[in-house]
Chain A
C-alpha cells in the first residue's frame, strides 16, 4: 500500500473540517428556523390577545416570550450578527412597554419583532440572494 505524505493527510483533514462546517451550518440554520417559527407563533398569540384587548394575558405572554428570547439570543449570538438580534430585543421591549400601557400600538413592534426573527435564519442560508 502506498504511504501518503503528511501534506495529504493535512489536506484530507482540512476538507473533513470544511465538510463538518458546511453540515454544521446547515444543521444550525434548520434548528434556528424551527426556533424562529416557534417564537413567531408566540408573537402571533400575543398579537391576538392585543387585538382582543386582553392586556393582562398579553402582558404575561410577552414577559414569557422575552425570557424565551433572551435564552435563544444567547445561543444565536455565536453565529448571528448581534446588531440584528438587538433590533428584535428593542422591538420586544417597546411592545412590552406599550402592552403595559394598554396601547394597541404594541402591534407594530410585535410585527417588526416577528418579521426580524423569521428573517434571521434566512439571512444565513446559502442561496443566490444572500451570495450576491
Chain B
C-alpha cells in the first residue's frame, strides 16, 4: 500500500492548535494524594465489614481458612489502595470474593462434621495417659521441643504431670493435667459456694444502660435512688456503676465531680 506524499511539518501551526482535552493538570499530584486518602478510607471500611461479618473468633483463634482470608485480604486491599490507576471496584470485588468464600466455608463447616474435618482438620492427641504419642508427632511434623515449649507456656514444665494434651485445629495445645496435679477446687475440699454471675454494668461513662436495667427488672427511679445514697445526683456524674448477683451496688463518680465536691 502506498501512502500519500508527506507534507512538511509546520511547528508554529502545531503549537497554535487548541489545547488537548487531556492537558496535564498541575494539581494532578495533589489529586492523586486525595484519591489514595479516599481509597484507604473506603477499603478500610470494606475490610472492617469483612472482619465483622466473618466473626469475633477471627482475631483470636484462626482456623486455616480464616488465616488464608486474613493474609489475602491485606494484599487484595493494598493494590487498589496504593495504585490510583487500578479501579477501586477491582479491590472491593476481591475482598467480597474472600468474604464469600470465608462465609461459605464457615457455613459448611458448621453444618457438616465431615467437611469440618477436611477444611479445618481434626484435633490430634499428642499425649495420651501421660505418654507422648510418637505417631501423632510424626504425622503433624511436630517435634518434642515444640511440644515441651507449648507445655511450659501452658504451665506444665514436666510431662509426667500431664494426662492428656491435644493439639487443636487452630494450633493451640490444650493440656489436661493428672488429677493429682490440677489445682484444688472448692468441690475437692467439700466447701459449698454461692452462685456467682457477672456484675451488670448500669452506668458507663455517665450513660445509663436502660437495656441492662430492664433486663434485671429495675428502672431509672431505682437507679437515681441508689445514686443519691452514694452522694451523686445525676447519672452523668458517674464514671461506672454496676450491680452484682448478690445485689451489691457499686458506684464510682467521675474524678472531676469528686474534686469539685472536695
- A residues contacting B by CB (< 8 A) are 7-8, 10-11, 14-15, 17-18, 21, 51, 53, 55, 66-67, 70, 77-83, 86, 89, 93, 96-97, 100-105, 107
Contacts and interface: CB of A to CB of B under 8 A. Distances in A.
A72 to B, nearest CB: 13
Given A7-B110, A21-B96, A89 B9 contact: no
A16 B7 CA distance: 60
22 contacts: A8-B107, A10-B53, A10-B103, A11-B104, A17-B96, A18-B96, A51-B3, A53-B4, A55-B7, A70-B21, A70-B22, A78-B89, A79-B89, A80-B87, A82-B84, A82-B86, A83-B85, A100-B13, A100-B17, A101-B10, A102-B7, A103-B9
The 3 closest A-B CB pairs, nearest first, are A102-B7, A104-B3, A82-B85
A89 B87 CA distance: 17
A21 B89 CA distance: 11
Interface of B: 1, 3-4, 6-7, 9-10, 13-14, 17, 20-22, 53, 84-87, 89-90, 93, 96-97, 99-100, 103-104, 106-107, 110
B191 to A, nearest CB: 42
Contact of A77 (B87, B96, B99): B87
A104 B6 contact: yes
Nearest to A76: B87
A100 B14 contact: yes
Contacts of B90: 79
Contact of B21 (A15, A51, A67, A107): A67
A8 to B, nearest CB: 8
Contacts of A53: 4
Contacts of B4: 51, 53, 104
Nearest to A96: B20
B14 A97 contact: yes
A43 B105 CA distance: 49
Contacts of B100: 14-15, 17-18
Contact of A107 (B3, B7, B9, B86): B3
Given A14-B99, A51-B3, A79-B90, 8 more contacts: A7-B106, A14-B104, A17-B100, A55-B7, A77-B87, A79-B87, A100-B13, A100-B17
B89 to A, nearest CB: 6
A102 B7 CA distance: 6
Nearest to A102: B7
Contact of B85 (A8, A81, A104): A81
Contacts of A7: 106-107, 110
Contacts of B104: 11, 14-15
Contacts of A66: 20-21
B103 A14 contact: yes
A80 B99 CA distance: 23
A70 B23 CA distance: 12
A70 B84 CA distance: 18
A18 B236 CA distance: 47
A67 B84 CA distance: 23
A103 B85 CA distance: 32
A70 B22 CA distance: 9
Contact of B7 (A78, A82, A89, A101): A101
B3 to A, nearest CB: 4
